[in-house]
């Protein structure tokens, strides 16, 4: 076949290049351009595998040599992913700037003097004999002036000192400068608390007696 006399060819040129030849030439030009502008040692997305190939961590593509990787960095896919990454970084930076600063809570540091004395009594509700409960009496003679004991319930999966047991929960009582004490109680539903601090036998309540320095907590379980 006469390649020299084809339409669009020059004498001695071997004929016009096809699509594959043009693609090879384009990749070669991109590789040379990338060699002039890109330092592979500073590229954060290049990864050399144990097989000797190169991986683009941005696009998750594999390349057999540096030329192939450099040609990829000049391609549409890599450039599009670079633009997306830059836009995401700008957006995250704006969110960090506009995020309101949280108020740092200073942890109290005080010398603990040990655990307080306590007494636990099993009780039964008068109006509903089937409902049982517990009455806690905690003696706090050395409590800090102006401090009222505080309490809260904690599940067995929230604490980190014992193996979690779904059958129990904990009642925590804290009062400076005493150590926080935890009472293991059955993991049953507790009657909703009443804000009234009077001794109502039909409710779950707590009461702090500042004169005798004793703290009472009563918990009633639903039957």
Is the same domain home to 140 and 189?
Answer: yes
User: Tell me, what's the pLDDT at 200?
Assistant: 44
Is the same domain home to 136 and 212?
Answer: yes
Number of domains observed in the structure of the chain: 2
Write out 60-115 in H/E/C secondary structure. CEEECCHHHHHHHHCCHHHHHHHHHHHHHHHHHHHHHHHCCCCCCCCCCCCCCCCC
Residue 139 token pair: 């003696």
Is residue 10 one of the residues assigned to a domain?
Answer: no
Q: The domain containing residue 55 runs over which residues? A: 19-98
Is residue 6 one of the residues assigned to a domain?
Answer: no
Is the same domain home to 123 and 214?
Answer: yes
Calpha distance 200→133 (Å, rounded): 13
DSSP annotation of 147 reads -
Q: What is the mean pLDDT of the chain?
A: 80
Is residue 92 one of the residues assigned to a domain?
Answer: yes
197 pLDDT tier (thresholds 50, 70, 90): very low
Q: What is the percent of the chain where pLDDT is above 70?
A: 77
Is the same domain home to 124 and 172?
Answer: yes
Query: Which residue, 69, 98, 127, sits at the end of a domain?
Result: 98
DSSP annotation of 143 reads P
19 pLDDT tier (thresholds 50, 70, 90): confident
Is the same domain home to 181 and 90?
Answer: no
User: Tell me, what's the pLDDT at 90?
Assistant: 86
Is the same domain home to 94 and 133?
Answer: no
Greater model confidence, 200 or 79? 79
163 pLDDT tier (thresholds 50, 70, 90): confident
Is the same domain home to 94 and 35?
Answer: yes
Is residue 9 one of the residues assigned to a domain?
Answer: no
């Amino acid at each position: 076949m006469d390649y020299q006399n084809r339409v669009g060819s020059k004498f001695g040129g071997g004929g016009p290049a096809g699509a594959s030849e043009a693609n090879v030439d384009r990749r070669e030009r991109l590789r040379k351009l990338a060699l002039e502008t890109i330092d592979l040692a500073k590229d954060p997305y290049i990864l050399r595998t144990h097989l000797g190939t190169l991986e683009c961590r941005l696009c998750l593509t594999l390349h057999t040599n540096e030329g192939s990787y450099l040609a990829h960095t000049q391609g549409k896919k890599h450039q599009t992913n670079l633009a997306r990454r830059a836009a995401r970084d700008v957006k995250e930076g704006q969110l960090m700037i506009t995020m309101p600063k949280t108020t740092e809570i200073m942890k109290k540091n005080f010398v603990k003097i040990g655990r307080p004395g306590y007494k636990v009594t099993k009780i039964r509700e008068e109006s509903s004999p089937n409902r049982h409960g517990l009455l806690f009496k905690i003696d706090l003679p050395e409590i800090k002036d102006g401090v009222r004991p505080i309490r809260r319930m904690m599940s067995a999966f929230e604490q980190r000192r014992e193996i979690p047991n779904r059958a129990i929960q904990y009642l925590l009582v804290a009062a400076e400068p005493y150590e926080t004490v935890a009472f293991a109680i059955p993991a049953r539903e507790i009657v909703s608390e009443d804000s009234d601090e009077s001794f109502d036998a039909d409710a779950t309540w707590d009461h702090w007696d500042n004169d005798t320095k004793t703290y009472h907590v009563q918990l009633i379980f639903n039957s």
